[in-house]
Amino acid sequence: MISFNYENDFEIENIQLLQTWIERVIVSEDFELGEINYIFCDDDYLHHLNVEYLNHDTLTDVISFDYTVGNIVQGDIYISTERVADNALDFKVPFREELHRVMVHGVLHYCGYKDKSETESEAMRNMENHYLKLLQDIS
């Protein structure tokens, strides 16, 4: 089950399409869907989590708390819509594309992808792009 929750005024569009897409990503990576909660919030909310749980005193666009057990993908993915909007401007891409990128980014962490090194970040970006194309294909 994939659910969408809000700590700000943002509301996701195309809920059913995005649920189908994320589930296809998980299955494509040879995992099963458990429960994923997306929580959309502002910079202050996500900054507080970043400081409290990760000891990082920085702004970020996404934080994933992974509760995956075995092959069953589960977790909470917090997304700052403010940071996504700023990043979309910086990267000169539409807000929706950047939002979808961070949504799949969190799930890819649950599937074992890392992004600490340059090589890992490149592999993560390639998979993000691959799955963004899948979303376009099913839209």
Residue list for the binding site: 105, 109, 115
- Which residues make up each annotated binding site for Zn(2+)? 105, 109, 115
Question: Running DSSP on this structure, what letter comes out for residue 70?
Answer: T
* Kind of pairing between the strands at 32-41 and 72-80: parallel
3-state secondary structure of 69: strand
Kindly state the helix (H) or strand (E) to which residue 2 belongs, with its residue range.
strand 2-6
Are the C-beta atoms of residues 73 and 107 closer than 8 Å to each other?
Answer: yes
